[in-house]
Amino acid sequence: MHKLSRRDLARYLAVGGLAGGLAPLGGLVNLAQAQPLDKVVLAGWSKPISEITNLLVEADKGFFRAQGIEFSYLPGAGGGDALRNLLSGQADIAFTDPGSLFAALDKGEKLRAIYDVYPQNVFNVVSLKSRGISKPADLKGKRVGVYSLSSGTRQNLQVLLHSAGLSEADITLVPTGLLNFAPLMQGQVDATAATDTGLLVGRQRGLGEVNVMEVRQQLNLSSDLLVVREETYQRQKALLRRFLTGFRDSAQWMMQAPEEAARLATRVAIDGQNEAINLEVIKLRNASSISSLTQKKGLGSLDTATLQRGLQVYRDIGVLSREIAVNSIVGTDLLPAKP
């Protein structure tokens, strides 16, 4: 079947309307609905958890379907995992952290960041008060947990260590998995790198009195970006624009209807059994999606100045071995206009 473009459909509908032909109009609508959808796979850094409920409700809400896209989410175990799935061809877009992106760029991968999912840095390092760890320097000689060796928790832990003149060589790094507060509570690690939502859930599960070091105090760099291969960025701009419109609409819905999102999360998220906790997690993630820049220019707006500072910090850490100009790795021309 010939695929009817949106422009042609609009023209034909207008002609049908002017002619007063209701039957042809209905036929054209059915023809449009029958067109095959463009398949887009998003590789995530996590399993289907409550904080990404907006991406898990496509069957109910159809944010991407409304843009002519058949959307699917590919789970991962860290931002590095999301990028590996992108680069191996298993996905079209990666949902990943800047540190993992920078590391891939340093290896020569050609990538573009096209949307800032969470412009606020949500990473932290948490320890029980009884451990006496209250500042980055106190981590020296300690066992510190991370979600995985390819996760944003590791990259942000490196930022925190660097602020105290330390590196990973000064600690024992322990991969603990996504629900990494159990090892902390059981004494398997002295501190653990996590996120604000992870800390919220940990407290709900009896974590107790803790000291929290927020990485944003050292570098308020975006927590997660949407990233594509350079080739995709150059050749599929129309499709990417439609995808970003669907993504933005899903994020906007979760902000406007957090209670509905929390309720749906009980069905679609693997950690969503408690609706009250879902709501608190969703509120935190909604807040991290907003910055002064997004309030001015719209959700997803990329702060190139902050990203450039991040590139320099990660070069200082040793993640990057060369200078990278932010304009060469960021695409700001695909974002939908602010409603």
- Equal CATH topology for 37-119+225-328 and 123-217: yes
Q: Mean of the pLDDT values across residues 111-128? A: 97
Give the per-residue pLDDT at 150.
87
Give the per-residue pLDDT at 271.
94
User: What is this structure's pTM?
Assistant: 0.86
CB atoms inside a 10 Å sphere around CB 135: 11
Q: Tell me: the pLDDT tens digits for 289-333?
A: 999 999 999 999 999 999 999 999 999 998 899 999 999 999 999
**Predicted confidence (pLDDT) at residue 204 exceeds the cutoff of 60:** yes
**In b/e form, how buried is each residue of 18-55, taking b as 16+ CB within 10 angstroms?**
eeeeeeebeebeeebeeeeebebbbbbbbebbbbbbbb
Q: Where are the domains of the chain?
A: 37-119+225-328, 123-217
Beta bridge partners of 146: 175
CATH of span 123-217: 3.40.190.10
Q: Tell me: the pLDDT tens digits for 9-64?
A: 433 333 333 333 333 444 444 544 568 999 999 999 999 999 999 999 999 999 99
Give the per-residue pLDDT at 318.
87
Mean pLDDT score of the chain, rounded to an integer? 90
Give the per-residue pLDDT at 141.
98
Give the per-residue pLDDT at 337.
86
- Closest by Cα among 156, 193, 163 to 178: 193
What topology does CATH give the domain 37-119+225-328? D-Maltodextrin-Binding Protein; domain 2 (3.40.190)
**Predicted confidence (pLDDT) at residue 177 exceeds the cutoff of 70:** yes
